[in-house]
Amino acid sequence: MTRDDYQLAEMPSLAKLYLNAAATAARTRVLGSTPSVDLPPRATEVHGVLADIAKMTEYQHLVGKAARDIIPSGYLHSMAFPVAMSVMVREDFPLPLLGMIHLRNQVEHLAPVQFSMPLSIRSWARNLAGHRAGTQVELVVEIRGDGGTDVLWRGVSTYLAKGVYLPGLDKPASAPDIREDFQAPNPTGIWSLGVDAGRAYAAVSGDFNPIHLSVFTAKALGMRRSIAHGMYLAARVLADVGSPKPEGFSWDISFAAPVFLPGTVAVRIADTTAADGSWASSTFAGWNARTGRKHFSGSVATLVS
Amino acid sequence: MTASNEQSPALTPRTIRPAVVVGGNRIPFSRAGGAYAKASNQDMLTAALDGLVARFGLADELIGEVAAGAVLKHSRDFNLTREAVLGSALAPQTPAYDLQQACATGLETVIGLANKIKLGQIDSAIAGGVDSASDAPIAVSEGLREILLDLNRAKTIGQKLSILARIRPKDLAPDAPSTGEPRTGLSMGEHQALTTAQWKISREAQDKLALASHQNLAAAYGRGFFDDLMTPYRGLAKDSNLRADTSLEKLASLAPVFGKRLGAEATMTAGNSTPLTDGASTVLLASEEWAAAHDLPMLANVIDGEAAAVDFVHGKDGLLMAPVFAVPRLLARNGLTLGDFDFFEIHEAFAGTVLSTLAAWEDEEFGRARLGLDGAFGSIDRSKLNVNGSSLAAGHPFAATGGRLVATLAKMLHEKGSTNDRPARGLISVCAAGGQGVVAILEGR
Amino acid sequence: MGASAHASTDKYTQFVSRGLGKDLAKKLGLPQPAILRRYEPTAALLTGPVLVEGSSHGAEELAAKLLGWGLDVRRHATPKEKLGAIIIVLDELAHPDELSAPVRSVGASLRDLLPSGRIVTISRPAVDGLEPAVAAARHGVDGIVRSVAKELRAGATANGILLGGGVEPASASAMAALRFFLSGRSAFVDGQFLTAGTPGTLDAVDWERPLAGTVAVVTGAARGIGAAIARTLARDGAQVVAVDVPAAGDHLAAVANEIHGTALQLDITAVDAGQRILDLGFSRYGRLDIVVHNAGITRDKLLANMDAARWDSVIAVNIASQLRMNAAFLADGRFAKGPRIVSVASTSGIAGNRGQSNYAASKAGVIGMVHATAPLLAPSGGAINAVAPGFIETEMTAKIPFATREVARRLNSLSQGGRPEDVAEAIAFFASEAAAGINGNVLRVCGQNLVGQ
């Protein structure tokens, strides 16, 4: 937290941010704009953020978690998402928000967060880089107790602006293709995702990105059908892994192929134990139950302090 | 009454006394959509209770406690067992409670009530269970449910109208229960298919077990074994799933139904899996004193019980493999080995479940790594397994299976009497949804 | 069951018993079946005074006993006085000429008989070795009873008691039979005789609960007549073990629970059926006093078309099983304290019935068995009797086509079908301790069916 941060007086509305993003996109198409390779220089911050307990409960039920008073790790991401969005809709942000693809989330959940705790959320962008399919960027979010200094939750989300190539950013020499070498193992679970899975998650997370909402809105953005939120998949797999102990933990999920809706995702979760027999980590993967094509993979692990 | 100034001394716990199985009664089990299609859980449980009451001349008798349950339960059946008692020939002063431990419900009611008898809290009890897959509760959708609850809280007509306006066509689609595990989305059959493949159980072995189940059950009917264990209901006098004339050829001709989307070789068919079934069962338990005072038979003692659960969500163990862990613990506590039993009643959720359980017990590595033993836990004499048939032939109305097993085994033990200078002894093993298992030991008398 | 008096009275009987229907029936000359007076535990034995006709010593003693029952007894008819019953004591008949005075005297009082009134004769049987005139006189009573029964109206019946050697009109067994005939228990018994073979011993009887403290087994108790027997025995105080085939277990359980009895699902043709009944009775209740062989099946076919399965199954269930079970009972030392066996026979076993050669064989066989078994039970104070029902309104007879059923139920002196309870009451009477000395009888409960005796 620095004095130089852009301070937002209140939590921005995601709906307005999406409208804003659409307007920016339209303006860019109409007026053209000079491509920039610089990220906004300062972080954006909001203070006094409180979880909406009713929405949080709906979220917990939707992803299959018991409604505890501790805010789920994925829900903290959702709470912070408008702040990250407000970074991405800034005029000095070099990539178009709409149509951006979620590649990866890395989260360190350092301490449990009570729903009643006022929070400050800070976000900035970093590591603008070339990708074999466009340009990627990392959005960092840090969550602290309001007025506190300890980071409680830190997340790094990697997004890809598909087909956007910025001058001066080279494609990586050997783009690792995470779809390679995936052999579907025996699943430990099957998720049947209905056509409304995107709308349902949008309702509890507030993320009304049109590519998740309907075939129509998805097609408008070049997708053949609507797709499931990456964060919904992450939240469900986190719920299935259960509550890690100790409560400090990290998780990491990489998204390979989108999950078109409706769809059936096969999931496998496997545990590793520490020398003393306690839980150390879980790895997980999700794939198309019919074709075997991988959708996502990742891990959850204890944070040894 | 005068108040005493003397201090009352510390109470000493009562000593434990035996709990005996007096007998049982069930209605024949019917494949879903059959003879009991229109009967509710309460109807069937009441019928099973009335048959038990009639068999033992207990009309208007006050029983210590009745415990039963159903896995698929309507919200209106919040007090299912008590309502069934009130509708039965038992004294209306008989207390009752509901219990639910998925397919282990019936066995758990027996263990729990037997414990109360052993502790002297009650002298008599009826344990039981019931399930209807035909009359399963269909819930309103989550959206409609919330709207209706909000509507109930609304005060003004304006509020009510605006709440009603929220109803969308999709809210009106009903929400039927599935046999899928909530946490994995896999059906029980799919879970078992993974386990069956993991333990390399062949299709032929599964079909053979299914055939034996039908043949054993048919033979038991043939010699009138169930005459004092069953009361007909709705025109059904035998389990409707029983196929006395089935054969390995017929079973081999059936197409696999589970495991097809799991990659593994699919070996589980409708023939070696239990069908959805309706039915109810009850068991009369008592202290020796109560049974003697009522001149009632004492078939077997309820010796001990054990529950276990496995972490199937993370794929560590198969969904239905908890008894694999429960039995070694139960036997160790009682100083017994598998060789000390005369009968094994292992619930046949699927033929693959029974065979995977036996395979795990016979596996050296599993015994060492997972059961903490020096080697394999052991094997059982297959001629002692489910000798009067089990769920593959009789069917499996989830909560009713435990009562069927206990009454059947108790009668078998009583008929066998003693052997090798000890009472005949039997083991019951029931796997259950949620990765659970409940097992128990009975001794004949 | 708790059925009201009207509930199981057939619709025709209800119709012609009231208002418009009654007038209509009279004008058209239709039969006018009465609503019969049936037994209720608290109701009075009779609805009016009882006239005792006869001048013998036995008649005097009997009249005294009736006073002891609290009845309003008349030794001479009072003109115009309505009567509940007329008892004609003819125990000293020597010649048919002696019938004239008492019988015609009764005839003068017949119009004063109340609805569901009773005529009961008490006489002696025309056994072998009698003077021809004595035998003629005694057997004359038979004709009188059967004829008067056909003349009576409004539910009134005529029946007779035959006194064995050494039995007097006021002997315990004769009085028990008399009470049965006077009471509503015999509502559907008409034109029949009971023989009191030995005097009996019991004087102090709990007439409200005559079976208190006894344990009774009823086979075929799941429905119909068997269920009614179970209920009636329980009402009279018996602890009942209700037996039926496993397939009828649900109905059986309902009956057992209703009467606080025990259900035993048992195929009575099983070799060990008798033993299992004994075991249950003695292990559960410590005793077994009464066995009612009610279970029976029909497999009707003209003899020309009769197959072995039909014939053999009827014989196996209806008579062979009873013989086998009785053998087991008689061989068991515990079943020896004045045991009572009552078998359900059938009018088909007496008069025969087209298409029922197998059934009639089995039921006539039952009658033969009863006669032969009676002397075996007599020494222990036990008895075996049979009840032969006529047309009884049950689920089974309800399946008979309407026209056939209508004819069948009117073909008797009471112009109606009987109820299962009517059969049950007769059985309860035979099972009661008061009926000691009444052994080897076959009592028809048929409303004096026009066929047979």
Q: What pLDDT digit, counting tens, does each position of B66-80 carry?
A: 999 999 888 888 899
SS (H, E, C) B402-420: HHHHHHHHHHHHHHHCEEC
B268 and B165 in one domain? no
Whether residues B313 and A189 touch (CB distance < 8 A) is answered with: yes
Specify the range with the lowest mean pLDDT, choosing from A230-244, A284-298, B210-224.
A230-244
Mean per-residue pLDDT of chain A: 85
Whether residues C253 and B54 touch (CB distance < 8 A) is answered with: yes
Dump pLDDT digits (tens) for B95-143: 999 999 999 999 999 999 999 999 999 999 999 999 998 876 665 666 7
Residue B53: inside a domain, yes or no? no
Q: How far is B120 from chain C (nearest CA, A)?
A: 24
Q: How far is A24 from chain B (nearest CA, A)?
A: 34
Of B47, B226, B295, the CB nearest to C285: B295
Contacting chains of B (3 CB pairs or more, <8 Å) are A, C
For residue B350, the 8-state DSSP code is: B
Domain with B175, as residue range(s), is 147-179
B381 and B269 in one domain? yes
pLDDT of residue B21: 98
- Give the bridge partners for A301, in sequence order: A250, A281
B333 and B384 in one domain? yes
Q: Which domains, from first to last, does chain A contain?
A: 1-166 (3.10.129.10), 176-305 (3.10.129.10)
Instruction: Measure Cα distances from C96 to A77, C53, C92, C136, C168 in Å.
Output: 118, 17, 11, 6, 21
Contact partners, residue A74, CB within 8 Å, separation at least 6: A59, A63, A231, A234, A235, A238
Give the CA dihedral C419, C425, C430, C435, nearest 10 degrees.
-150
Residues on chain B touching A242 (C-beta within 8 angstroms): 313
> What amino acid occupies position B435?
G
**CATH number assigned to the domain comprising residue B423:** 3.40.47.10
Which range is most confident: A234-243, B181-190, B324-333, C49-58? B324-333
- C384 close to B (CB below 8 A): no
Residue ending a domain, choose from B160, B179, B198: B179
User: For residue B176, what pLDDT band results from cuts at 50, 70 and 90?
Assistant: low
Rounded to the nearest 5°, which phi and psi values hold at C249?
-60, -35
Task: For residue A82, say if its preceding peptide bond is cis, omega within 30 degrees of 0.
Answer: no
Structural tokens at position B233: 């209901």
Q: How far is A68 from chain B (nearest CA, A)?
A: 17
Whether residues A189 and B263 touch (CB distance < 8 A) is answered with: no
pLDDT of residue C17: 65
B175 and B194 in one domain? no
Q: How far is C247 from chain B (nearest CA, A)?
A: 5
- C182 close to B (CB below 8 A): no
Dump pLDDT digits (tens) for B7-21: 778 888 778 999 999
Please give the distance of CA B401 from its chain centroid, rounded to a whole number.
Answer: 4
pLDDT of residue B140: 60
Dump pLDDT digits (tens) for B186-240: 888 888 988 998 899 999 999 999 999 999 999 999 999 999 999 999 999 999 9
Specify the range with the lowest mean pLDDT, choosing from A26-35, A83-92, C146-155.
A26-35
Q: How far is A189 from chain B (nearest CA, A)?
A: 4
Contact partners, residue C420, CB within 8 Å, separation at least 6: C224, C225, C227, C228, C229, C392, C393, C394
Residues on chain A touching B314 (C-beta within 8 angstroms): 188, 241, 269-271, 282
Whether residues C248 and B297 touch (CB distance < 8 A) is answered with: no
pLDDT of residue C32: 67
Contacting chains of A (3 CB pairs or more, <8 Å) are B
Task: For residue A246, say if its preceding peptide bond is cis, omega within 30 degrees of 0.
Answer: yes
Rounded to the nearest 5°, which phi and psi values hold at A163?
75, 5
Whether residues C254 and B295 touch (CB distance < 8 A) is answered with: no
d(CA A23, CA A28): 8
The contact set of B with A (CB < 8 A) is 170, 181-186, 190, 194, 197-198, 261-264, 311-316
pLDDT of residue C3: 37
Residues on chain B touching A184 (C-beta within 8 angstroms): 263
Q: How far is A13 from chain B (nearest CA, A)?
A: 23
B194 and B175 in one domain? no
Whether residues B261 and A289 touch (CB distance < 8 A) is answered with: yes
Whether residues C254 and B53 touch (CB distance < 8 A) is answered with: no
How do B30-31 and B277-287 pair as beta strands?
Answer: antiparallel
pLDDT of residue C214: 94
Q: Is the dihedral of CA C225, C231, C233, C239 positive or negative?
A: positive
- A190 close to B (CB below 8 A): yes
Specify the range with the lowest mean pLDDT, choosing from A8-12, B151-155, C89-93.
B151-155
Contact C281, B263 (CB under 8 A): no
- C31 close to B (CB below 8 A): no
Residue B410: inside a domain, yes or no? yes
Whether residues A189 and B261 touch (CB distance < 8 A) is answered with: no
Nearest Cα residue to B243 out of B279, B275, B205: B275
Sort C69 into a burial class: Cβ within 10 Å, 0-12 / 13-18 / 19+.
middle
Of B60, B226, B233, the CB nearest to C260: B60
Active site residue B74: no
Interface test with B, best of C218, C243, C250, C264 (most B CBs within 10 A): C250
Q: Is the dihedral of CA A7, A8, A11, A14 positive or negative?
A: negative
Contacting chains of C (3 CB pairs or more, <8 Å) are B
Specify the range with the lowest mean pLDDT, choosing from A190-199, A210-219, C226-235.
A210-219
The fold for domain C215-445 equals Rossmann fold (3.40.50)
Measure CA of the first residue to CA of the last residue in chain B; give whole Å.
46
Whether residues B55 and C263 touch (CB distance < 8 A) is answered with: yes
pLDDT of residue A1: 46
Examine the pLDDT at A34 and tell me if it is beyond 70: no
Structural tokens at position A20: 């804003």
Residues on chain B touching A264 (C-beta within 8 angstroms): 261
pLDDT of residue C395: 80
SS (H, E, C) chain A: CCCCCEEECCCCCHHHHHHHHHHHHHHHHHHCCCCCCCCCCCCEEEEEECCCHHHHHHHHHHHCCCCCCECCHHHHHHHHHHHHHHHHCCCCCCCCCCCCEEEEEEEEECCCCECCCCEEEEEEEEEEEEECCEEEEEEEEEEEECCCCCEEEEEEEEEEEECCCCCCCCCCCCCCCCCCCCCCCCCCEEEEECCCHHHHHHHHHCCCCHHHHCHHHHHHCCCCCCECCHHHHHHHHHHHHCCCCCCCEEEEEEECCCCECCEEEEEEEEEEECCCCCEEEEEEEEEECCCCCEEEEEEEEECCC
The CATH superfamily holding the domain C45-196 is NAD(P)-binding Rossmann-like Domain (3.40.50.720)
pLDDT of residue C6: 43
Instruction: Measure Cα distances from A223 to A89, A193, B55, C20 in Å.
Output: 22, 18, 69, 86
pLDDT of residue C16: 63
pLDDT of residue B126: 98
Whether residues B185 and A189 touch (CB distance < 8 A) is answered with: yes
Residues on chain A touching B185 (C-beta within 8 angstroms): 189-192
Q: How far is B346 from chain A (nearest CA, A)?
A: 25
B344 and B315 in one domain? yes
pLDDT of residue A172: 65
pLDDT of residue A42: 86
Structural tokens at position A160: 């890809």
**Residue B124, H or E segment:** strand B124-131
Whether residues B184 and A240 touch (CB distance < 8 A) is answered with: yes
Nearest Cα residue to B231 out of C242, C215, C227: C242
Do chain B and chain C touch with ≥3 beta carbon pairs under 8 Å? Answer: yes
Whether residues B314 and A192 touch (CB distance < 8 A) is answered with: no
Whether residues B233 and C261 touch (CB distance < 8 A) is answered with: no
**Active-site entry in C12, C39, C285, C359:** C359
Residue B396: inside a domain, yes or no? yes
Residues on chain B touching A240 (C-beta within 8 angstroms): 183-184, 313
Q: B326-330 long-range contacts, Cβ below 8 Å, gap at least 24?
A: B326/B429, B326/B437, B326/B438, B326/B439, B327/B361, B327/B377, B327/B427, B327/B429, B327/B439, B328/B361, B328/B371, B328/B373, B328/B377, B330/B304, B330/B305, B330/B306, B330/B439, B330/B440, B330/B441
Q: Which of residues 277-296 of A touch B (CB under 8 A)?
A: 282, 289-290
Residue C433's SS3 state is helix
Q: How far is A66 from chain B (nearest CA, A)?
A: 12
Of C257, C259, C264, the CB nearest to B50: C257
Residue B362: inside a domain, yes or no? yes
Indicate if C215-445 has the same CATH topology as C45-196.
Answer: yes
d(CA B429, CA B420): 24
Q: Residue A66's closest chain B neighbor by CA?
A: B183
d(CA B26, CA B44): 9
pLDDT along chain C (453 residues), means of 10: 45 64 59 84 89 91 92 89 93 92 90 93 92 94 92 92 92 93 94 91 80 95 95 96 95 96 95 94 93 92 91 94 94 86 89 87 94 93 93 82 79 87 96 92 89 62
Residue B200: inside a domain, yes or no? yes
d(CA C145, CA C110): 13
Residue B21: inside a domain, yes or no? no
User: For residue A74, what pLDDT band results from cuts at 50, 70 and 90?
Assistant: very high
pLDDT of residue C78: 86
B215 and B350 in one domain? yes
Whether residues B314 and A186 touch (CB distance < 8 A) is answered with: no
B168 and B192 in one domain? no
Residue B252: inside a domain, yes or no? no
Residues on chain B touching C250 (C-beta within 8 angstroms): 47, 51, 231-234
Tally the domains of chain B: 2
Residues on chain C touching B297 (C-beta within 8 angstroms): 283
> What are the residue ranges spanned by the domains of chain C?
45-196, 215-445
